[in-house]
Amino acid sequence: MPPTYSIVIPAYNESARLGASLEKVLAYVHAQGWDAEVIVVNDGSRDNTAEIVLNSMAKDPMVKLLENPGNRGKGYSVRNGMLHAQGRIILFSDADLSSPIEEAPKLLHALDAGADIAIGSRWLRAETQTQRQPLHRQLFGRIFNLMLRVSLGLQFADTQCGFKAFKRAAAQAIFPLQKIERWGFDPEILFLARKLGFTVQEIPVLWGHSGGARINPVIDGARMFQEMLRVRWYSLTGEYEGAGAAASPETAAIRETPTKVRNH
């Protein structure tokens, strides 16, 4: 039988913190008595990220390793994991657990109350930030959020928090349409959620900035701005019309290669 919950963790060169994060996630899942799977999506890491996951798999059958075909980006990793997840509820979380896994019930409660998607927010109530980002990162985030409001009409306080939960029907409708493979994928999936008529609820969650973030405000900021314009262009030109794997040949390929998932 498929599990009730799937937890998807994208990972690229995460050997320094992934082991501890997996231990926390698994300890919490077992303490809650959840019927769950934990899928780590390895994005072509050059360190021993995969080895850490394999060691965890040897100890706990809940853990699965999904290998990307090389380094493709966080957006590709999340989409790959979401399309392989079997759970009725699918949550993705950053590997550093900036939002602790203990915050998951806040998202799950929103889904139980009727939302199709629940997204964690660092800015809906700023006091929930246990450790704030550097000032330049905060400024970049606020500017990017303003641009999203203007260009895509997304009225969320925080689109970029890496802690989001989906009912299976919403995930299966949205992620086959996703085209952005790197940092700018979050606004795209929220734009698609609105376009498809799903209910999205933004939930304040505890969040703490962790060092080692790989995003460059200048280089990645420019790329994310371009990706934002691409989302608008895709919408205007009908690129998002259609459903399922037909919307993306690459998505079809992902779905047709379940053997990439290593679960033993």
Q: What does the pLDDT read at residue 223?
A: 80
Q: What percent helix, strand, coil does the chain show, rounded to 5?
A: 45, 15, 35
Summarize pLDDT for 97-144 with one digit per residue, the tens.
Answer: 999 999 999 999 999 999 999 999 987 766 666 556 556 566 666 667
Q: Is pLDDT of 253 > 90?
A: no
Q: What does the pLDDT read at residue 176?
A: 97
- pLDDT confidence tier of residue 182, bands split at 50, 70 and 90: confident
132: closest CA among 120, 143, 141? 141
pLDDT more than 70, % of the chain: 78
Taking the model in full, what pTM does it have? Answer: 0.85
CATH of the domain at 237: 3.90.550.10
Which tokens in the block code for residue 70? 């090389």
Q: What does the pLDDT read at residue 208?
A: 77
Element at 138 (helix H, strand E) = helix 135-151
Please tell me the total number of residues recorded for the chain in this structure.
Answer: 264
- pLDDT confidence tier of residue 244, bands split at 50, 70 and 90: very low
43: closest CA among 22, 20, 64, 74? 74
**Structure letter (DSSP) for residue 236:** H
Q: What does the pLDDT read at residue 18?
A: 97
Q: Tell me the mean pLDDT in the region 199-212.
A: 83
Q: Which long-range contacts (CB under 8 A, 24 or more apart) does 259-264 make?
A: 260/66, 260/67, 260/84, 261/39, 261/64, 261/65, 261/66, 261/84, 262/54, 262/57, 262/64, 262/65, 262/66, 262/67, 263/57, 263/61, 263/63, 263/64, 263/65, 264/57, 264/61
Which tokens in the block code for residue 257? 């290669």
Q: What does the pLDDT read at residue 30?
A: 98
- 211 Cβ contact partners less than 8 Å away, ≥ 6 residues apart: none
Q: What does the pLDDT read at residue 52?
A: 98
Q: What does the pLDDT read at residue 96?
A: 93
**Structure letter (DSSP) for residue 175:** G
Domain region containing 132: 5-262
Summarize pLDDT for 26-61 with one digit per residue, the tens.
Answer: 999 999 999 999 999 999 999 999 999 999 999 999
Q: What does the pLDDT read at residue 209?
A: 61
Q: What's the number of domains the chain is made of?
A: 1
